[in-house]
Amino acid sequence: MDMNRLFIIGTTLIIIGFIVIIIGSILPVITMSSKPSEKTEVGVGGCIVIMFIPICFGYGKPEIMTPLIILSLALVIILVVIYIIMTRIIITLSVERK
């Protein structure tokens, strides 16, 4: 793939990510009714992945923590597999050029 094409794909994915975050932040406010029900509960959660280390945080019901931990582990496994595949591709390409 051409480097310009990869740059455009990467930039597009980053912009789409920001748009999803903005929509996800605004959507609950728009859909909220004017009178909240008596049993209104609030929960917040997030997961930041730095290299292969997920840092997850949250506030809310404890029942949400187990799926978030499982999701984090699945994400780490997927990232490790992608890293291994990309490393093999880079090594193969560098050997072919020599």
Q: Whole-model pTM above 0.75?
A: no
Domain boundaries, the chain: 1-38, 41-98
For residue range 40-74, what is the model confidence (pLDDT) as tens digits? 666 666 677 777 677 777 777 777 667 777 777 78
Residue 62 DSSP class: G
Does residue 3 carry a pLDDT above 70?
yes
| Total Cβ atoms within 10 A of residue 54 | 18
